[in-house]
């Protein structure tokens, strides 16, 4: 799985992790959060984009994304569950590597593309339960900018 960084170009998962650690290490006293969010866009193909954001609170962020296209047409429910599963898979890999490298206390959040006001409101409990049950913090709209803003930007 390749990632793209707007500032660093195409990177492997291991290169993304190395760049994340270097970014965190550059200002070790700052408060950092790792945010994972996935969004999808329907079209001739469905485009799924998962973003990994390292947010240095009050001081900016660095992000990476990976894109997958598939011809299979899924229902809204299936797409939201697939988005959540993609985010959980990458979050799990990142959390494992963080723990192996002395960053186990770094908070990893999953930003979900669901909210109280849209067609996805009936899915909130289920997908938040998946995320929390996997040991991660969950955020929904309007607080889920990792999915709503960063990942969404690259689904078009």
> How is the chain split into domains, by residue range?
2-153
User: Would you place residue 38 in the very low, low, confident or very high pLDDT band (cuts 50, 70, 90)?
Assistant: very high
Question: 0.75 cut: is pTM over it?
Answer: yes
Count Cα neighbours of 15 within 13 Å in the Cβ-side half-sphere. 12
pLDDT value of position 97: 97
What pLDDT does residue 156 have?
85
Whole-angstrom distance, CA of residue 30 vs CA of residue 60 = 11
Average pLDDT over residues 20-33: 96
């Amino acid at each position: 799985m390749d990632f793209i960084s707007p500032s660093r170009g195409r990177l492997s998962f291991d290169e993304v992790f190395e760049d994340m650690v270097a970014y965190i290490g550059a200002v070790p006293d700052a408060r950092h959060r790792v945010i994972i969010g996935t969004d999808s866009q329907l079209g001739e193909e469905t485009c799924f984009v998962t973003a990994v954001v390292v947010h240095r609170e009050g001081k900016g962020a660095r992000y990476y994304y990976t894109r997958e296209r598939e011809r299979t047409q899924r229902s809204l429910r299936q797409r939201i569950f697939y988005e959540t599963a993609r985010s959980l898979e990458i979050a799990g890999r990142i959390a494992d590597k963080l723990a192996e490298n002395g960053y186990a206390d770094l908070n990893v959040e999953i930003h979900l593309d669901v909210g109280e006001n849209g067609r996805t409101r009936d899915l909130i409990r289920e997908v938040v339960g998946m995320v929390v049950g996997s040991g991660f913090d969950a955020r929904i709209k309007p607080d889920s900018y990792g999915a709503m803003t960063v990942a969404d930007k690259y689904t078009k």
